[in-house]
Amino acid sequence: QSALTQPASVSGSPGQSITISCTGTSSDVGNYNYVSWYQQHPGKVPKLMIYDVSNRPSGVSNRFSGAKSGNTASLIISGLQAEDEAEYYCNSYTTSSTWVFGGGTKLTVL
Amino acid sequence: QLQLQESGPGLAKPSETLSLTCTVSGGSINTVSYYWGWIRQPPGKGLEWIGNIYYSGSTNYNPSLKSRVTISIDTPKNQFSLKLSSVTAADTAVYYCARRTMGSSSRDVWGQGTLVTVSS
């Protein structure tokens, strides 16, 4: 199985909104609403930010939202804050009953 | 509050078998509600899903690792384990255990991770 495709990096200024894309195929992202997003700060454990495309766990800021269209899922962060600077990974279920991660996107808050 | 903790040797020799255990505390591993899995992250690289196990013992593995991976569960001890055989330097990584909700992509509880280095 191939990794999902994410941009290597995105950036934005405080207060702005950014979108991180996660492109898969009809065998993963396009076939299920089982897409999740994880935030990872350097040296830290990944943290669940979004699950099942657009659901936000308790305690996660409502500045984080998720969406999906076809084979591409998106993580949207509004009102960027310095603390949002981190690596973000998407993850999807596949038709082989396995899971695949994206390569990761480094978010820089300018 | 449920917690996961990885344990095992931090060093493995090439061609040998890497063995790790994840101990679950604050809740039972013997539940229909969750899958228990392993994810790894080589230094400076991204996350890679290794596989998961259900309380019944049913498993799923990453196809690229399937020939070398075994995940098992010990419900009386509230633990699940990972064995990765014939390791090489490419298997050097931080290994995380995590819980995923049944019928969901929510992987909400993770262990702290343990670094395993493959070196002679």
pLDDT, one tens digit per residue, over B39-79 is: 999 999 999 999 999 999 999 999 999 999 999 999 999 99
| pLDDT tens sequence across A52-92 | 999 999 999 999 999 999 999 999 999 999 999 999 999 99
Mutate which of A45, A49, A87 to disrupt the B interface (most B C-beta within 10 Å)?
A45
Place of tokens 């603390």: A83
Please tell me if residue B96 touches chain A, with a CB cutoff of 8 Å: yes
Residues of B in contact with A92 (CB under 8 A): 105
Beta bridge partners of B36: B53, B99
Is residue A103 within 8 Å of A109, Cβ to Cβ?
Answer: no
Residues of B in contact with A59 (CB under 8 A): none
Residues of A in contact with B107 (CB under 8 A): 36, 38, 48, 51, 91
Closest of A87, A86, A82 to residue A103, by C-alpha: A87
Is residue A89 within 8 Å of A101, Cβ to Cβ?
Answer: yes
Cβ–Cβ below 8 Å for A51 and B64: no
Which of B48, B63, B104 shows the shortest C-beta gap to A101? B48
Confidence tier at A1 by pLDDT (50, 70, 90) = confident
Q: Which residue from A minimizes the CA distance to B46?
A: A103
pLDDT at A27 over 90: yes
| pLDDT tens sequence across B4-46 | 999 999 999 999 999 999 999 999 999 999 999 999 999 999 9
Whole-angstrom distance, CA of residue B113 vs CA of residue B95? 5
Which of A36, A96, A104 shows the shortest C-beta gap to B107? A36
Amino acid identity, position A28? D
